[in-house]
Amino acid sequence: MIVNTPETMAIRVMMIVAFYPYPIIGGLEHQAHELSKKLMSLDVNVQVVSGKFDSLSPDNETVDGVPVCRISLSEIRLLRFIQTPIWFFWAMYTRRNTFDIVHVHQLSWFGLFAILIGKLLGKPVITKLPNVGFKGIPGLVNSGFGKLRLLILKLSDSIVAMSDASVSELEYVNFSSNRILRVANGISLKECSSKSKSEHVAKQCKVVFVGRLVPQKGVSDLFIAWQRIEKVHQNVSLEIWGDGPLRENLERLCQSLGIKDSVNFAGNVANVREKLVAMDIFVLPSYVEGNSNAILEAMSVGLPIVATSVGGAEMQVGEQGKEFLFEPGDTDGLYRALDTLITNSDLRGEVGEAMRKRIAENFDISSVARCYIKGYIYLISDKKDEIYSASII
């Protein structure tokens, strides 16, 4: 049921996500789903339009209460490029009376076509920047048809920035700061169970990486640093949770570095957050991130974070966590951060507790959803130049 907002305004949102669960592909899709569920619990009417790359996926279904329409797309890239705007237009046009706002979650052509069609239908469009650097606006500009892609992106009535780096990228291309909504990814607090300080004291210190095994995650850097860790620390282990195209290469690297006995490739792990409680340190040596959902999950269970200072990492971990951030590719910095935390179990407990409290204070999905609701109201009210005032970071 749709109810009126404090400004007596019903909110109906069409989410645009290239892939939508089930299955959840990655952090972007997971965050879109969590936000959609929370918005619906706050009486916002949400529907999703997604691509259908799996023939077994239904064209229409309801996922955790969220209605999803999937567009069938060819696996042939050129044909898919031709198909997408046609099918997209049909899906959005036939539903034009059921939504008032288009919320786009990525910068692929899938998302860019949605921006164009949303504007053609006279709907306000809000677009989320999921990343920075070569996965953000600079990468967009330097890609094929980069200037055209940027032009389409800037047709958005508002753009969501999840970090200072994203804001800087938008300002560099002359997107009005008044139309930037600053809000981070969020996490559901009701699912959080944290690790107590005493639990950080254990016979074996367990370090965990969670993510896709792809080049930008920097796992090879982690293994180089881990070789040094293994030489100076006994009773340490490194868990690799996730899969991807680099797995075989990384397993061979472990073998050549002589660290295979302390490294466990667990593959894709279900119920990650519940299982993180058994770990002691979370590590993410990525070269590119937006707002890492994996970092938020680790913080929510009280783990100290060792990560590269990219994207929104510094904003996520705050002042007390900055000490354990390092530059991408800096294996010395990665080693020092791990060494410090492995050596001092009391410090692990203190930092982990600070991370848990920071989640509760800054990244509750309820607060994030309410921020979006305020932003939607500005857009529906044709006040896009005031949307910055709804920001929460």
Looking at residue 77, its pLDDT comes to 81
Query: Minimal CA–CA distance to 227: which of 197, 191, 183, 260?
Result: 260
Confidence tier at 24 by pLDDT (50, 70, 90): low
Tens digit of pLDDT for each residue in 205-255? 999 999 999 999 999 999 999 999 999 999 999 999 999 999 999 999 999
Q: Which fold would CATH assign to domain 189-362?
A: Rossmann fold (3.40.50)
Token code pair at residue 40: 């619906």
Confidence tier at 115 by pLDDT (50, 70, 90): very high
Looking at residue 288, its pLDDT comes to 87
CA separation for the pair 327, 172 (Å, rounded) = 23
Q: Calculate mean pLDDT across residues 18-22.
A: 76
Looking at the predicted structure, is the pLDDT value of residue 270 above 60? yes
Instruction: Name the average pLDDT for the chain.
Output: 90
Q: Calculate mean pLDDT across residues 181-185.
A: 93
Tens digit of pLDDT for each residue in 276-285? 999 999 999 9
Looking at residue 264, its pLDDT comes to 97
DSSP state of 7: T
Confidence tier at 27 by pLDDT (50, 70, 90): confident
Q: Calculate mean pLDDT across residues 8-28.
A: 78
Confidence tier at 202 by pLDDT (50, 70, 90): low
Looking at residue 189, its pLDDT comes to 79
Contact 309, 288 (CB under 8 A): no
Looking at residue 132, its pLDDT comes to 85
Looking at the predicted structure, is the pLDDT value of residue 8 above 70? no
Looking at the predicted structure, is the pLDDT value of residue 3 above 50? no
Q: Calculate mean pLDDT across residues 92-106.
A: 95
| Domain range 12-186+364-390, CATH architecture | 3-Layer(aba) Sandwich (3.40)
Distances (CA, A) of 331 to 49, 218, 265, 363: 42, 10, 21, 29
Beta strands in 268-388 (DSSP E): 281-284, 305-308, 325-326
CA separation for the pair 159, 153 (Å, rounded) = 9
Looking at residue 25, its pLDDT comes to 57
Q: Which residues of 182-218 are buried (b: 16+ CB within 10 A; e: fewer)?
A: bbbbbbeeeebebbeeebbeeeebbbbbbbbbeebbb
Choice between 243 and 18, residue whose per-residue pLDDT is larger:
243
Looking at residue 301, its pLDDT comes to 95
The model's pTM is 0.84
CA separation for the pair 178, 161 (Å, rounded) = 12
Looking at the predicted structure, is the pLDDT value of residue 355 above 70? yes
Looking at residue 150, its pLDDT comes to 96
Looking at the predicted structure, is the pLDDT value of residue 7 above 80? no
Domain boundaries, the chain: 12-186+364-390, 189-362
Tens digit of pLDDT for each residue in 137-163? 999 999 889 999 999 999 999 999 998
Looking at the predicted structure, is the pLDDT value of residue 201 above 80? no
Confidence tier at 198 by pLDDT (50, 70, 90): low
